Amino acid sequence: MAIQQKLSLMIPGPTPVPEKVLQALSKHPIGHRSKEFQDLVQSTTKNLQWLHQTQNDVLTITGSGTAAMEAGIINTLSRGDKVICGENGKFGERWVKVAKEFGLEVIKIDSEWGIPLDPEEFRKVLEEDKHKEIKAVILTHSETSTGVINDLETISSYIRKHNTALSIVDCVTSLGACNVPVDEWKLDIVASGSQKGYMIPPGLSFISMSQKAWEAAEKSNLPKFYLNLKSYKKSLQSNSNPYTPAVNLVFALDEALKMMREEGLDNIFRRHNKHKLAMSNAVKALNLKLFADEKYLSPSITAIKTEGMDAEEFRKTIKNNFDILLAGGQDHLKGKIFRVGHLGYVNDRDIITVVSAIGNTLLKMRKISAQQVGEALVVVSKYLEEK
Amino acid sequence: MAIQQKLSLMIPGPTPVPEKVLQALSKHPIGHRSKEFQDLVQSTTKNLQWLHQTQNDVLTITGSGTAAMEAGIINTLSRGDKVICGENGKFGERWVKVAKEFGLEVIKIDSEWGIPLDPEEFRKVLEEDKHKEIKAVILTHSETSTGVINDLETISSYIRKHNTALSIVDCVTSLGACNVPVDEWKLDIVASGSQKGYMIPPGLSFISMSQKAWEAAEKSNLPKFYLNLKSYKKSLQSNSNPYTPAVNLVFALDEALKMMREEGLDNIFRRHNKHKLAMSNAVKALNLKLFADEKYLSPSITAIKTEGMDAEEFRKTIKNNFDILLAGGQDHLKGKIFRVGHLGYVNDRDIITVVSAIGNTLLKMRKISAQQVGEALVVVSKYLEEK
């Protein structure tokens, strides 16, 4: 019997929100031009830089992650600019659409959904670009639609070698889940969203901009107003915003970032890695198949094939019986996969619970034996015990 | 002695938020692709249409009011289009900037800050446009920066006579405060924001689009992605959103719109009108001067001149002594005026309180006598008693 109010969100966003953060959300708003709010902006900005491991500007936009990615593209590029777009999932596809909408010339580097992008292809295209015509490389780090993580570290090293191209990266489901050292990897533009590793509800997005990105912004001729990042940079100098920001979400952000600092980056990454391993190995023990290449599993989402079962029906059963919301497949994957989000405010118990729920459901469907359910839980415990 | 946590917001946004709405904000988020969220979108959309007095589509965007206004402009117009922009305050100025950024040819109709736009000027320019070159009239209904309400009813009648030009109206501080009958006045595009009459924190904005606006959208060639309203319209057909919406703010919106329906449009408008009259007449009784033309006072904001006093210092004193946050003047008006917001969740007591606080402060400064303070409160009571 389901009690909807006690829903457990195991989707790749919105992710579960800690009680403290929910309480911060319900505080009475304050004036966004007040000293109190400026103090908040100062504190969140400092902690955002910590999370991004960067000295770059990190700007907060009221809007979804898509707004931040669009901002990255339209602020640094001009009509007709040649760019590489990596595409191996729904979000990669989206950035191709954005690039084309704004009149960019797109060189697509793609791979099948579920397969990581091949860094060698980036290397080749970048090396062959002798006249430095490629202005940017746009790609998705963790592909939320398929549970694949692309090898950003290697790809970004090739972008650095090219020297003039900017990196514009969707880190929406990687930032705050695994290591994204913006300064070390010299990532120029990194976009992320609040309802992911940040542990707060949707409505804010973030974008970090390197010095090189700001220099490119001086030359960009694409029209923009609400998403003109120069206005945000200028306002940030006085810890302010160009337009009224989502004040209550900023209260929540401040609280969540403090919790993240308390846990520490290494612990956060270790927790996500452990959950990824526990989840993916349990899936195999449950006689299910991973959708993504096992060597490139996202730290945040495990996508699971449901050969012979309707994934949407399966998700519905899990929701009705256990109050656990799983994500479905997108586009051509609808009905063929389901996705378990383990991103943000997720603890070991959540992982044990979701594996139990999936295991019990498969058992009732006579897809597996009780022994297999038990073995899957043993696998989970083994990975969870690792420090 | 101030207790900052008990701050009373009497600024034109964020406005005070009812307890019920704050509680809705702190609910655990749900999946934005779930049936439960679709039900919410259906309910809020219906109530948004009620509030706009329209059968038009009313779309919800995660972003500030500026995002909605920009969306109205870039979705219906094309590079080089001729438009009229009404400008008599900071927001009018902003729409001129947006129009120019997107390559529109702007015919400016302006008046001094504090003075309403002259509808006759609109009539003349529109009548002289024999070749129907003017594609849109862009203006601000209630100018938040000055407390002036422009005569939208008359101006929109001239736009209708022109027949081809679209009306694109910033109703950010008029919608939910005074009558804005979208269908009756045939307003094509109306933008508003959550932190105003809606009584919820900032982060959502709204845009109503007429059939004529959608037809124009088919021809618009300005690039856009996050703010492409066609995506929102398409998603709305299944009560959904193209990108992850600010789920918790939608919880709040649903609650607030239900409260508004309970109060009823007429009662809401009457309350705002009563508060406007009580406030503006009290200001005169306190020997202060209104900044705006008294025949065109905004229902939401009273702007007050502080000849011989630093308005910023005055605001600070009121905040420190009474925990009431007033707004300052913007741009060249900084230090010269302060603004009292009486928009959204404001009751009679709030008006009495702010008049008392201002009166007492002036008394301490020896600007007025105790008798004048008393008389101002008598004036307030008189207007508040009117049904």
- Contact assignment for A223 to B63 by CB distance below 8 Å: no
Tokens describing residue B60: 């919800």
356-375 of B, contacting A, C-beta below 8 A:
none
Residues in Cβ contact with A347 at an 8 Å cutoff, skipping those fewer than 6 apart: none
d(CA B46, CA B53): 10
Residue A5: what pLDDT? Answer: 73
Whether the CB of B329 is below 8 Å from some CB of chain A: the reply is: no
For residue A219, the tally of other CB atoms under 10 A from its CB is 11
Report whether the peptide linkage leading into residue A14 is cis, meaning its omega lies within 30 degrees of zero.
yes
Q: Mutation target for B interface from A26, A35, A346: give the one with most B CBs within 10 A.
A: A26
Phi, psi of B115, rounded to the nearest 5 degrees: -105, 135
Whether the CB of B248 is below 8 Å from some CB of chain A: the reply is: yes
Low-confidence ranges of chain A (pLDDT < 70): 1-4, 387
Phi, psi of B74, rounded to the nearest 5 degrees: -75, -15
pLDDT tens per residue, range B130-173: 999 999 999 999 999 999 999 999 999 999 999 999 999 999 99
**Closest CA of chain A from B295, distance in Å:** 29
Fold for B19-262, please state it.
Answer: Aspartate Aminotransferase; domain 2 (3.40.640)
Closest among A66, A96, A89 to A296, alpha carbons compared: A89
Whether the CB of A203 is below 8 Å from some CB of chain B: the reply is: yes
Residues A316-343 as b/e (b if ≥16 CB within 10 A, e otherwise) read ebbbeebbbbbbbbbeebebbbbbbbbb
Q: What is chain A's percent helix, strand, coil content, to nearest 5?
A: 45, 20, 35
Burial level of A364, CB count in 10 A (0-12/13-18/19+)?
A: exposed
The beta-carbon neighbor of B29 closest among A9, A223, A248 is A9
Residue A6: what pLDDT? Answer: 86
Whether the CB of B80 is below 8 Å from some CB of chain A: the reply is: no
For CA atoms B138, B182, B257, B33, the dihedral sign is negative
Q: What ipTM does this complex have?
A: 0.96
> Which residue does chain B place closest to A200, by CA atoms?
B29
Phi, psi of B239, rounded to the nearest 5 degrees: 50, 45
Q: What is the 3-state secondary structure (H, E, C) of A14-81?
A: CCCCCHHHHHHHCCCCCCCCCHHHHHHHHHHHHHHHHHHCCCCEEEEEECCHHHHHHHHHHHHCCCCC
Report in angstroms the alpha-carbon separations of B215 from B76, B163, B221, B241: 8, 14, 13, 21
pLDDT along chain B (387 residues), means of 10: 76 96 96 95 98 98 98 98 98 98 98 98 98 98 97 98 98 98 98 97 98 98 98 97 98 98 98 98 97 97 95 96 96 97 97 98 96 97 89
Residue B92: CA count within 13 A, CB half-sphere: 29
CATH superfamily of A4-14+265-385: Aspartate Aminotransferase, domain 1 (3.90.1150.10)
Q: List the domain boundaries for chain B.
A: 4-14+265-385, 19-262
- Contact assignment for A66 to B226 by CB distance below 8 Å: yes
pLDDT tens per residue, range B174-196: 999 999 999 999 999 999 999 99
